[in-house]
Structure 1
Amino acid sequence: MFNPQAEAMPLAELRALQLDRLRATASRLHERVPAYRAKFAEVGVTPDDLRTLDDLARFPFTRKVDLRDHYPFGLVSVPREEIRRVHASSGTTGKPTVVAYDENDLGVFSEVVARSLHAAGARPGMVFHNAYGYGLFTGGLGLHGGAERLGLATIPVSGGGTERQVTIIRDLQPEVIACTPSYALVLAEALARQGVGPGDTNLKYAVLGAEPWSERMRAEVEARLGVKATNIYGLSEIIGPGVSNEDVTEQRGSYLWEDHFYPEIVDPDTGLGVPDGEYGVLVLTSMSRTAMPVLRYWTGDITRLLPGPSTTGRTSRRMDMIRGRSDDLIILRGVNVYPSQLEAVLVDLGEVSPHYHVVLTRTGVMDELTLRVESEQREAALRDEIVRLVKNSVGVTITCELCEPGSLPRSEGGKLRRVTDLREAR
């Protein structure tokens, strides 16, 4: 079982613990990882310079390229024989990023996931349907370990095989499900095809993450699956899922488990910190990992830390929904556009499927965005209405293409790529 008292640690005690753990992490990296020792030297700092929490801003960022440059184990800080698990990214844009775990790290992993599931509404003895993919991706095994730590009866369904998933949901009657938001809608569609409505299953809670989503998407999932949905956040470079989770009674910001992960929000251009409430890039330090801790990891995720007190008694800060990734930002004729903004327009409209795909092309020197949307209707009026709403909400003029229902890509439990960029494919 996990320790819920840690979530309500007095703030002064939490800040003191963070400083101690940050110092220990910086010292560990400086002593054991030559790449970090070189990075510290480049900016003229040593672990002794970390005297206050504010001093962390003097230290260099760690970026994904650092993991790729030191592939596979160049950032590991324990002997190889102490490694107990290895996960890796897909490597679709180059070398995969490999992350290593020792016994301590696996304990931390299961602890923070158990906290996250508990915040999402799960309780010991419930049945848990885990539809995240098992394997090198951290989602499946990460959620699995935390679920067992919490005391859930865990069904390791993994991703894909939607019809089989529907059968399991109907027959084994899980109360809790975990998957991506887009796959939750795929499951809702599959259940509906079998005549199963939102009140016809035993599902009560959905733990959704691994891709940006919106409040409108939450409302869609909750209505179609009959659940209370919360956002779980994580990334393999830090530990995997379980860095933060919303409380099901609030559904307003995900609590960062700040005794293990130290958050900063920085300006994406300058790297300087911004006040709570302002959007920027999320930067995280893993303070309690030992096999492969990372200092000031530039996640690329755009979010903000929410000001104001918690209603749950937790002292950790909360982060807002991920607005998008800094590297997913579409700059269209000078306007910043995130795919999640387009999704919000579609879900709010209600007359089309929330399944969509964005195609970027270039005509001469002009960039064009085509929003492909599934709809039973093919009327020009609906197409024109979507174009108008996007213009009013996002500030750009687009082209809309209405497609046959079921014709656009579907998630099979993993992350769904929403954008095809053909601007350089000429």
Structure 2
Amino acid sequence: MTEHYDTLETRDPASREADLFARLPGVLRKALEAPAYAERLKGVDPAAVTSRAALARLPVLRKSELPALHKAAPPFGGFVKASPGSFARLFTSPGPIFEPEGAQADPWRGARALHAVGFRPGDVVLNTFSYHLTPGGFIFDASARALGCAVIPAGPGNTEAQFELIEAYRPVGYSGTPDFLKILLDAAAAANRDVSSIRRALVSGAAFPKSLQEEIKSRGVDAYQAFGTADLGLIAFETPAREGMTVNEDLIMEIVRPGTGDPVAEGDVGEIVVTSLDPHHPWIRLAIGDLTAALPGKSPCGRTNMRIRGWMGRADQTTKVKGMFVRPEQVAEIGKRHPELGRLRLVVSRAGESDVMTLRAECARASDQLRERLESSIRAVIKLGGSVELVSSNSLPNDGKVIVDERNQ
């Protein structure tokens, strides 16, 4: 195998875009066979959805909606036509959300992520993600086996037994959380056990700050990050370039303004929305609740797909003010009523013993009239009073936050 998993990774971006959107109408037709999509996408002509602009007109399905939808129409909320028995494995995640694993090879699309960071056929991989009910362990297990690796299905914990396996099988790779990798290395050093065969790692499921990256590197392990969910599998992954994360093939990623389905300007922070081209279990504009931003240009490693900055926080910034929920969708609605504004940021704080809201709004030309109109919009949309602070254009942080709660700071 070469430096790249296949030629799809290095194709011209325009060719990739054309391929994705040529395949999308067929996937939409399959999605419409499921009753929930048939209702949600009523009136949509799949043949007309052949561009990002057309896709952006379809409704967003928020992951936060799935627990209630799955409870109302078990097990998959009506978004999957196939019966549970047609899948290979069946999982649950907190919510609960119920996730099926496809019967096809590499159902979670993770083989190319492992390949990107140096895993190769014939490698032995220690997989410490959990195999119990949730899909994490099987996501990385299936991906490594699709690549041609042998997998030790260790799961987390029980370090003494893991040392025996490591010393016997001499795995070169590790997959699991970065936290458990450090626990394993620390415990091995304390017990004088040999885990030196582990030279590379693909980590996910927890923060991997610079300090921990440097410590793991100092122990002789070259560790890279992957970003994924139990619904979609591997969404994006680091490469040897170490410049952001490359979006996986067969996915269409959009970055939208939190609380909306509207794509942000290039480089702005927003919520990740993913459409998967898996006809067995399609996801159409699934908003996963995580923030990121796109990076310009192509990766020095030669991969040409979209790159993101990685996980940058949560998009669901809903908070309570005076006992009432205030949501990003409401801030977005205020913005739609005043298209002359730039970014908006609703700051919630305390004055004495009362909650107060201040809407900071970017504008090119401040006026008392604009401020008064905005105060009226706040009351009309949020049903609470709030003050307005007009600020200059491009002065608010590009961090995707539209509601900031300062009450506990």
TM over 0.5: same fold? yes
- Give the structure 1 partner of residue 160 of structure 2: 163
Higher relative contact order (CA 8 A, sep 6+): 1
Larger Rg: 2
For the residues of structure 2 that align with 1:55 and 1:185, how far apart are their CA atoms? Answer: 46
> What are the superposed Cα offsets for residues 69-125 of structure 1, whole Å, 9 maximum, x if unpaired?
13313211335553232222133xxxx11122443xx32426x21111111111122
For the residues of structure 2 that align with 1:14 and 1:265, how far apart are their CA atoms? Answer: 18
**Structure 1 residues 11 and 201: alpha-carbon distance in aligned structure 2, compared to 1, 3 A threshold:** same
State the secondary structure of the residue aligned to 2:56.
helix
Which of 18, 23, 26 aligns to 1:24? It is: 26
State the secondary structure of the residue aligned to 2:252.
strand
Do the aligned partners of 2:227 and 2:310 also contact (CA within 8 Å) in 1? no
Query: How far has the Cα of 1:14 moved from its partner?
Result: 0.9
Query: How far has the Cα of 1:325 moved from its partner?
Result: 2.2
**Structure 1 residues 184 and 330: alpha-carbon distance in aligned structure 2, compared to 1, 3 A threshold:** farther
Structure 2 residue 224 is matched with structure 1 residue 230: yes
For the residues of structure 2 that align with 1:269 and 1:327, how far apart are their CA atoms? Answer: 8
AA aligned to 1:82 is S
For the residues of structure 1 that align with 2:184 and 2:206, how far apart are their CA atoms? Answer: 16
Aligned residues between the structures: 325
- Give the structure 2 partner of residue 54 of structure 1: 53
Query: How far has the Cα of 1:301 moved from its partner?
Result: 0.9
Query: How far has the Cα of 1:269 moved from its partner?
Result: 3.4
Alignment gaps of 5+ in structure 2: 322-351, 356-403
State the secondary structure of the residue aligned to 1:72.
coil
- Give the structure 2 partner of residue 308 of structure 1: 297
> What are the superposed Cα offsets for residues 303-332 of structure 1, whole Å, 9 maximum, x if unpaired?
112112211221211222212223489999
Structure 2 residue 189 is matched with structure 1 residue 189: no
Which of 243, 264, 267 aligns to 2:257? It is: 267
Q: TM-score, normalised by structure 2?
A: 0.71
Which of 220, 245, 248 aligns to 1:254? It is: 245
Q: TM-score, normalised by structure 1?
A: 0.69
For the residues of structure 2 that align with 1:365 and 1:188, how far apart are their CA atoms? Answer: 49
Which of 206, 210, 219 aligns to 2:205? It is: 210
Do the aligned partners of 1:209 and 1:233 also contact (CA within 8 Å) in 2? yes
Cα RMSD after superposing both structures: 3.1
- Give the structure 2 partner of residue 87 of structure 1: 91
Do the aligned partners of 1:77 and 1:290 also contact (CA within 8 Å) in 2? no
AA aligned to 1:255 is T
For the residues of structure 2 that align with 1:80 and 1:134, how far apart are their CA atoms? Answer: 19
AA aligned to 2:59 is P
For the residues of structure 2 that align with 1:317 and 1:268, how far apart are their CA atoms? Answer: 20
Do the aligned partners of 2:127 and 2:151 also contact (CA within 8 Å) in 1? yes
For the residues of structure 2 that align with 1:303 and 1:330, how far apart are their CA atoms? Answer: 21
- Give the structure 2 partner of residue 144 of structure 1: 141
AA aligned to 1:90 is P
For the residues of structure 2 that align with 1:278 and 1:271, how far apart are their CA atoms? Answer: 14
Percent of aligned pairs sharing the same letter? 30
For the residues of structure 1 that align with 2:320 and 2:263, how far apart are their CA atoms? Answer: 24
For the residues of structure 1 that align with 2:54 and 2:148, how far apart are their CA atoms? Answer: 40
**Structure 1 residues 62 and 396: alpha-carbon distance in aligned structure 2, compared to 1, 3 A threshold:** closer
Do the aligned partners of 1:213 and 1:321 also contact (CA within 8 Å) in 2? no
For the residues of structure 2 that align with 1:331 and 1:184, how far apart are their CA atoms? Answer: 38
For the residues of structure 2 that align with 1:27 and 1:155, how far apart are their CA atoms? Answer: 39
State the secondary structure of the residue aligned to 1:23.
helix
Structure 2 residue 174 is matched with structure 1 residue 177: yes
For the residues of structure 2 that align with 1:397 and 1:87, how far apart are their CA atoms? Answer: 38
- Give the structure 2 partner of residue 323 of structure 1: 312
For the residues of structure 2 that align with 1:281 and 1:227, how far apart are their CA atoms? Answer: 32
State the secondary structure of the residue aligned to 1:193.
helix
